[in-house]
Structure 1
Amino acid sequence: MRILFFGRGLISTQYAWALEKAGHTVEFYVRKGRKATFGGYIELEMWDARRGKQFIKESWNVQLHEEIRPNYDLIIVSVSTEQLPEVAQLLSTVTGNTPILIFNNIWQDLKSAISPLVMNNVVFGFPGAGGGITDNRLRGGFFKMIFLEKPRAGTEQINNMVKELFESAHFKISWIKDMQNWLWNHFAMNAAMEAEVLRQGSFPALLNHRDSFANVGKNMREIAPVLRARGAKIDMISLLLTKIPPPLLSMLFNKVIFAKGSLARLSIEYNNTKAGFSVIEVVKEAKKLGISLPRLTATLENNQRHNVIDN
């Protein structure tokens, strides 16, 4: 298959590399001027967990374009959540009927999030990867599992194509029945974690403070009423975050989920993205619903970001 990745970010680069190794043609769309800035290669230092845990270290040549051509079998979009509306608007004008996989965190309802794209031409998924990019050097890794919504009426053909694509590269699909609900829960959990990142100062600092994940659980307890007010069902992971006593939650994350040397921990240690957007969006929604979020609001105020809630 011939695949275009929108942007040469962390997630796009890791999956593009894996799909190219499986025999597919992968290219990247980047904004004007970025082709010269990025250059024709990227240094990879990442863990591939599809077949055990293999460390990949190579200088990988990439194909970058500053325009979107109409000759792709699939376009894969994985961008910062705040960029998605602008990206959807651009794609609606240049892609025609090319199928699109939105590989993204989303807090809006799905149809609004990708407007004016046509829902029947889009499927939604979520990656199992993490890390960061600094100075053309990617450090991180990806798991065997990716998440993909079960087919909606009209998307069966695209879903099957995406399924076969990732399975050809030895990924395993976890099918999500209600992608809207799953993404709302995931976004809320992300906000609970990012609030603690803002308190500690960085993603690596989050891992090095013994109370961080206890606080993540407290943040999630505060956010849960917002999810319910939106009509979301609290999923199993969110429920565990809200029900497990904070000291036990802290031990579970520090000793098991993010144990030293684990791929999950490395993905967080290398994360150098700017935290806060998900916290702002959740607090804005809570304000509309008349729900108080004192922990998250105080975090934004302490980081001098509280003024954005009213904008």
Structure 2
Amino acid sequence: MRILFFGRGVISVQYAWAMEQAGHTVEFYVRQGRKETFGSSIELEMWDARKGKQLVKENWNVTLHEKISPGYDLIIVSVNTEQLPAAAQLLSAVAGSTPILIFNNLWQDLKSSISPLSMNNVVFGFPGGGGGIEDNRLRGGFLKMLFLEQPRAGTEAINNKVKVLLESAHFKIRWIKDMQNWLWNHFAMNAAMEAEVLRLGSFAAVLDHSDSFANVGRSMREMIPVIKARGGKADATSLLLTKIPPALLGTLFNKLVFAKGSLARLFMEYNNSRAGFAIHEVVREAKKLGIALPRLAAALENSGQHKEDVSG
């Protein structure tokens, strides 16, 4: 397949590298002026966990474009959540009938999040990896598992195309029956994590404080009513975060999920993205619904980000 990745972020680069290794042609769309800034290669230092735990270290040559031309079999979009509306607007004008995989975190309802694109031309998924890029050096990695929505009426052919592509690159798909609900829960979890990042200064710092994940659980308890008010429900991960006593939850995450040397911990340590957007989105929605979120509101207040508009 000939695949265009929208953006040259950490997720796009890692999965594009994996697709190229599987024999596919991969290229990137970047904003005007970024082609020269980024250059024709990127330094990789990432863990590939599809077949064991293998460290990839290489200077990878990439093809960048500042315009989107026809001829691609698939476009994969993985951008910062706040950038998705502009990406969808651009793709609606230039992508034509090329199928699109939205590989992204989302808080809006699915249809609104990709408007004016047609839902019949889009499938939604979520990566199983992370990390960060700094000074043209990517550090992070990806797991064998990733997430893909079960086909909706009208998307069967696109889902199958994405399935064939991912399996050709030796990824294992976990099918999600209700992608909307799954993403709402995942976005809320991100907001809870970002509250700790604002409190402590970085994603890496969160890993070094025993109370961080206990606080994540407490914040999730506040947000479950927001998810339910939107017509969703707590999924398995949210139930884990809200039902386990906070002290035990902190131990579970620090000692097991993010144990020293684990890939999950490495992905977090290298994450240098700016925290706050997920909190603003959840707080804005909660205000519309008349639901108080004191922990998240305090995180914004203490960081000074409360000055930004969260009134909707």
| 1:39 aligned residue | 39
**Aligned partner letter, 2:66:** E
1:249 alignment partner in structure 2: 249
Q: Which runs of 5+ in 1 are unaligned?
A: none
Query: With structure 2 as the length reference, what TM-score do the two structures score?
Result: 0.99
Tell me how far 1:307 sits from its aligned partner. 2.4
In the alignment, which residue of structure 2 is the partner of 1:143?
A: 143
Provide the residue aligned with 1:102 in structure 2.
102
Task: Return the offset for 1:210.
Answer: 1.2
> What SS is found at the alignment partner of 1:161?
helix
State whether structure 2 residue 238 is matched by structure 1 residue 238.
yes
* 2:189 counterpart SS class: helix
Residue of structure 1 equivalent to 2:180: 180
1:239-298 alpha-carbon deviations (Å, 9 max, x no partner): 110010001000000000000000000000000000010001000011000001111101
AA aligned opposite 1:205? A
Deviations 1:116-165 (A, max 9, x none): 00000000000000000001000000000110000001100000000000
Asked if the contact 2:132/2:271 (under 8 Å) is kept, the reply is: yes
Q: Distance in 2 between matches of 1:217 and 1:167?
A: 34
Residue 154 of structure 2 is matched in structure 1 by 154
**What is the TM-score with the length of structure 1 in the denominator?**
0.99
The alignment's C-alpha RMSD in Å is: 0.6
Q: Which amino acid aligns with 1:105?
A: N
Which residue in 2 is equivalent to 1:113? 113
How far apart are the structure 2 equivalents of 1:119 and 1:210? 43
CA deviations over 1:178-223 (Å, ceiling 9, x no partner) = 1001000100111111111111110001001111111111111111
AA at the equivalent of 1:54: Q
Pairwise CA distance, 1:310: 2.9
Q: CA separation in 2, counterparts of 1:146 and 1:298?
A: 33
- Residue 306 of structure 1 deviates from its aligned partner by 1.0
* Paired residue type of 1:131: G
1:257 partner amino acid: V
Query: Hey, what's the Cα distance between the residues in 2 that align with 1:172 and 1:143?
Result: 9
Structure 2 distance, partners of 1:222, 1:177, is 25
Alignment partners' CA distance in 2, 1:58 and 1:52: 19
Which AA in structure 2 matches 1:244?
Answer: I
1:152 aligns to what SS in structure 2?
A: coil
Paired residue type of 1:99: P
Query: In structure 2, what is the Cα distance between the partners aligned to 1:58 and 1:220?
Result: 39
Shift of 1:233: 1.2
Q: State yes or no: 1:64 paired with 2:64.
A: yes
CA distance in 1, matches of 2:215, 2:200: 11
Alpha-carbon distance in 1 for matches of 2:184, 2:311 = 22
Which SS does the other structure have where 2:217 is aligned?
helix
1:300 aligns with 2:311: no
Match of 2:209 in 1: 209
For residues 205 and 128 of structure 1, the distance between their equivalents in structure 2, rounded to whole angstroms, comes to 22
In the alignment, residue 272 of structure 2 is paired with which amino acid? N
> Size of the alignment, in residue pairs?
311
Deviating above 4 A after TM superposition, structure 1's stretches of 4 or more consecutive aligned residues are: none
Structure 2 CA distance for aligned equivalents of residues 31 and 229 of structure 1: 37
Query: How many Å separate the matches in 2 of 1:3 and 1:182?
Result: 26
CA distance in 2, matches of 1:200, 1:225: 26
| Structure 1 segment 126-141 matched on structure 2, within 5 A | 126-141=126-141
Unpaired stretches in structure 2, ≥5 consecutive residues: none
Match of 2:194 in 1: 194
Secondary structure class of the residue paired with 1:98: coil
Q: List aligned pairs for 1:272-311, cutoff 5 A.
A: 272-308=272-308, 309-310=310-311
Q: Decide whether the 8 Å contact of 2:287 with 2:311 is kept in 1.
A: no
Counterpart residue number, 1:92: 92
| Equivalent residue letter for 2:57 | K
The secondary structure found in structure 2 opposite 1:310 is coil
Distance in 1 (CA, whole Å) between partners of 2:311 and 2:76 is: 33
Residue 30 of structure 2: aligned partner: 30
Letter in 1 for 2:74: L
The superposition leaves residues 34-71 of structure 1 with CA deviations (integer Å, 9 ceiling, x where unpaired) of 00000000000000000000000000000000000111
| Helix, strand or coil at the partner of 1:96 | coil
